[in-house]
Structure 1
Amino acid sequence: MREEPPTRDWLTHRARASPEKTALVEADDGTEWSYAELDDAVAETAGQLAARGVEEGDHLGVLMETRVAFVRVVHAAMRLGAVLVPLNARLARPELERQAETADVTALVCERQTEADAIAVAQRRSTSERAATIPVASVDSPEEKGAVALREQGTQQFEPVEWSPTDTMAMLFTSGTTGDPKAVSLSMGNFFASATASAFRLGVLPEDRWLLCLSMYHMGGLSVVLRSALYGTAVVLQEGFDATAATTAIAEYEVTGVSLVPTMLRRMLGASDLADSLRFVLLGGAPASDELLARCETRGVPVHPTYGMTETTSQIATASPREAFDYDGTVGRPLLGTDVTVVDDDGTPLPSGEAGELVVSGPTVMTGYYGDSEATEEAFGTHGFHTGDVGYRDDGGRLWILNRREDRIVTGGENVHPGEVVEVLRSHPKIREAAVVGLADDEWGERVAALVVPEEDATDRDASLTEDALDAHCRDRLAGYKCPKTIAFADELPRTASGTVEREAVRERLLADGECDERGDERDERDERDEHDEGDDCDE
């Protein structure tokens, strides 16, 4: 077979092909960049990173929320041949340290809000046996010792790198099936195939504008930036999600597409009607309720429920609005080039209508988990990548997702592994045991809930055993969305005859204690600033 010729970074090609077309719009102030102007800005950022020692093959960690500077770093990394490693800016410091170690991060780019965490992560990495000193550069003016301003480093000449489809382009994190951080290695070919298949399903028009209001450290946000450069269409960037601001931006900038999770769409529909300019609303990250889809049909919202994973570079299957309205709960048919096999516990393919695990193959499937050959080998079988999701297909090839083979909780589009939360709860000196499950929630899809067993010497008067105290304990160690919104106390955990925690009994006990008490509502309000977006992507 003829080997594919190497290629430059995608922005270089796009700037040559359509330099005057609009590439990027800041929704807050209307500032616009043409592709030629964005190309010049990215060349400057790449030169600054080169001056900091970033070069081909480096693992460039990025710790910031969605903003223009992040867009520049994404394209600059590709121009330098560095592997992009977006880190979730909402994670607690110990979580960030584990991710940086897992991905062998060699340099970090941050912003003012994440500067302290970036410095701490770099110092931790630099003291390990596996790493040398990790430079930290901020896209803002640093306020702490240990970080330098990227723009103050000057620029260094560099030779743009040529890419082949098999080269690793980015590593994004997923909790996988164990709760441990896994760095998903995605090649340039993976991203290209995903963008192509999505274009065939959603369509691409010359004047398309895609609203970016998801976090770029998730696939749903990152893919908007990369796909738009390939398509030659514009990104309308909103810093931080606000429902009213998002609906206003869609109308003001004649946005034609947007990626959302159900919580975000629900809030936007509550804020106002969506503009007629919209061609598609790519809705993923969590199942869409029948009520939400009915509202979309009534109000003419072109919603495309989608199912995907970080390991498949986003979309696996995507429904059209007509499919979504006529076939309740479907996520549509697999995209071009993607094959989905439904198998039983022995790996035998099942016929239409029978539920089993979904196994995916095709050019969008990851090359593997970085540095974890055992997990990679376990994830693949005869028919491809084992998703861990249970579902079925109808005679027309449409897919339905029922649940996960494991007990992972999906809250507002973010994945939460119960075992990780249990470990943090049990680290509390007054907690002996804990069980964590997901409870149905109208706002987030699921809410994290915990049933805890205090130590025998603990008393009702222990101030450290209040719900607020346990909430604070968790928040020091976990991202906000992982912290239990409902906490109940028990003398013992319900168990089966074999000693396994009986999860359904745990769920019933928590529901009986009141799923939506006042304290849980207060924590929900506090978490509104931590908008849930795509967790594993608008992953659709």
Structure 2
Amino acid sequence: MNRYVTQHRRDAMALVTASVSLTWAELSAESARLAHFLERVAPEARHIGLRAANSADYVIAVHAIQLLGKVLVPLNTRLTMSELAGQIETADIDVLLVDEPIELSITQFALTSRDEASLATPHEWADDEVMSLMFTSGTTGRAKAVKQTFGNHIASAEAAKTRLGYGMSDRMLIVTPLFHMSGLAQVYRSARFGSTLYVEPRFDVVQTLELIETARITHISLVAVMLQRLLDAGLSRHQLRLLLVGGGPVPRPLLEEAERRQLPVAQTYGMTETCSQVATLLPSEALAHIGSSGQSIAPTQLRINADGEIEVNGPTVTPGYYRQPEADAWTPDGYWQTGDLGTIKDGYLYVHDRRSDLIISGGENIYPAEIESVLLRCQGIQDVGVVGRPDPTWGAIPVAFTVGTFDFDEAIQLLHDHLASYKHPKAWIAVDELPRNANGKLMRHRLKEADHDSSR
């Protein structure tokens, strides 16, 4: 990535937060000093974990790790220590960069660490070198580390530029977590094309609206609930050229209101395994193709297999999962099976289920099996099934169906100890038995039907 960063005008603005503004020269200098520090104190470290809130130092660390030729592993700050320990082990993380120390036995350094000296020789990345490991969750609930190569990240940035347009004059606002693909992808696009990156610690409606107006923001990445809140607060176009919305389809009323205000909303479909988006519906197409995620972004190819599953091929697709090759989803002819069900009509992709059991709540992925495995530890819970219930604010919320008599406080404590709060069931339904087929497999669609009937 450094080969592109050094080409940008050195006095042009690279990074802006509430507390600091850095030119490309200053960002490069800070990154090189952190890289020198890491090389000195942890020369043998290969995988470097990054656990911190959004900040200028986070972006500096991303650049520093790539200068060293090390593998970046972003970690979700909302995870419990139990979940975090599992991911550290899975990804073979050698050291952590943190904004606050955590109570785990692993070498940790402050995100603000610097040496006076700078790294002398930056690493030159080859396209097939693994540059980052980013976690997603499998349907078994076990976290999987997705391998993302330098070539994956560059191909993703180039494809986004071709489809949506990114350049040196753009000002990109990040309000989603940098440990998510939607946030990290913007860092690499900025580095590739010289755009100015504005980073907020979290999504705040008032602050976001102010920045869109005063900083003349051109690009912002959101999930639907964020867009809804901005619209409710009076969002206007100003200098916006793109509002990229992922994490599930945008409801028609939101699209219609965005159209009325001439807001350029682009719906997108992608996944961690494809290093961000692989299909995007352009703003001009939004109302003509309601429910669609758009056309594939060249050179990515999409197809639907005989089971209705979306398969993808192209330079942004992961080489596979780290240390879990048995989970890789390749077809014999080189397509990645996404696990998502969809159709393609006249070249436009329609995603029907982001995996049949996946719950997307406020842009966060929640896997029912993960919740079920924790609740089954509770004495008295004989069986449990979790499904998503449509929610006007969050898109969906988890609902737990339980069999047996148990201590509710004990169940809540188990959830608190093992799962981030957004994964906790928001509703509980007691049943005599769960619907299972002859092989014992839970029929979630029956639970969804039962929940629909009970909530009417």
Q: TM-score band, normalised by the shorter chain?
A: over 0.9
C-alpha distance in structure 1 between counterparts of 2:27 and 2:35, whole Å: 12
- C-alpha distance after superposition, 1:399-448 (max 9, x if no partner): 11111453122212221111111111111123221110111111111111
Per the alignment, residue 394 of structure 2 pairs with 444
Indicate if the aligned counterparts of 1:430 and 1:465 stay in contact, CA closer than 8 A.
no
Per the alignment, residue 5 of structure 2 pairs with 14
- C-alpha distance after superposition, 1:429-471 (max 9, x if no partner): 232211101111111111111011224xx5xxxxx325xx533
- 1:290 shift after superposition: 1.3
TM-score, normalised relative to structure 1? 0.81
Per the alignment, residue 47 of structure 1 pairs with 36
* Number of residue pairs matched by the alignment: 456
Per the alignment, residue 377 of structure 2 pairs with 427
- 1:496 shift after superposition: 4.5
Alignment counterpart, residue 106 of structure 1, candidates 78, 94, 110: 94
Specify the code of the residue in structure 2 equivalent to 1:34. T
Per the alignment, residue 392 of structure 1 pairs with 343
Alignment counterpart, residue 504 of structure 1, candidates 422, 433, 445: 445
Indicate if the aligned counterparts of 1:487 and 1:510 stay in contact, CA closer than 8 A.
no
Indicate if the aligned counterparts of 1:247 and 1:275 stay in contact, CA closer than 8 A.
no
Q: Percent identity?
A: 37
Is the aligned partner of 1:465 residue 2:408?
Answer: yes
Is the aligned partner of 1:90 residue 2:31?
Answer: no
C-alpha distance in structure 2 between counterparts of 1:500 and 1:441, whole Å: 26
Specify the code of the residue in structure 2 equivalent to 1:403. D
Alignment counterpart, residue 484 of structure 1, candidates 403, 418, 425: 425
SS of the residue 2:39 aligns to: helix
Alignment counterpart, residue 313 of structure 2, candidates 358, 361, 371: 361
Per the alignment, residue 245 of structure 2 pairs with 283
Is the aligned partner of 1:372 residue 2:315?
Answer: no
Structure 1 stretch displaced more, 253-262 or 87-96 = 87-96
Specify the code of the residue in structure 2 equivalent to 1:482. K
C-alpha distance in structure 2 between counterparts of 1:225 and 1:486, whole Å: 37
- C-alpha distance after superposition, 1:501-533 (max 9, x if no partner): 342332344345548xxxxxxxxxxxxxxxxxx
Indicate if the aligned counterparts of 2:16 and 2:56 stay in contact, CA closer than 8 A.
no
Alignment counterpart, residue 307 of structure 1, candidates 265, 269, 274: 269
Per the alignment, residue 522 of structure 1 pairs with none
SS of the residue 2:168 aligns to: coil
SS of the residue 1:437 aligns to: strand
- 1:101 shift after superposition: 0.9
Specify the code of the residue in structure 2 equivalent to 1:98. G
Q: Which runs of 5+ in 2 are unaligned?
A: none
Is the aligned partner of 1:245 residue 2:207?
Answer: yes
Specify the code of the residue in structure 2 equivalent to 1:47. H
TM-score, normalised relative to structure 2? 0.95
Alignment counterpart, residue 226 of structure 1, candidates 168, 188, 210: 188
Structure 1 stretch displaced more, 283-292 or 469-478 = 469-478
Specify the code of the residue in structure 2 equivalent to 1:87. L
SS of the residue 1:72 aligns to: helix
- 1:205 shift after superposition: 3.7
C-alpha distance in structure 2 between counterparts of 1:44 and 1:206, whole Å: 25
- 1:154 shift after superposition: 6.3
* Residues 21-170 of structure 1 mapped to structure 2, 5 A cutoff: 21-26=12-17, 28-29=18-19, 31-54=20-43, 58-112=46-100, 115-116=101-102, 119-120=103-104, 123=105, 134-139=106-111, 150-151=113-114, 158-170=120-132
Per the alignment, residue 202 of structure 1 pairs with 164
Per the alignment, residue 359 of structure 2 pairs with 409
C-alpha distance in structure 2 between counterparts of 1:278 and 1:404, whole Å: 29
* Residues 315-334 of structure 1 mapped to structure 2, 5 A cutoff: 315-334=277-296
C-alpha distance in structure 2 between counterparts of 1:69 and 1:305, whole Å: 30
Structure 1 residues 482 and 496: alpha-carbon distance in aligned structure 2, compared to 1, 3 A threshold: same
Indicate if the aligned counterparts of 1:244 and 1:272 stay in contact, CA closer than 8 A.
no
Specify the code of the residue in structure 2 equivalent to 1:421. I
Structure 1 stretch displaced more, 190-199 or 272-281 = 272-281
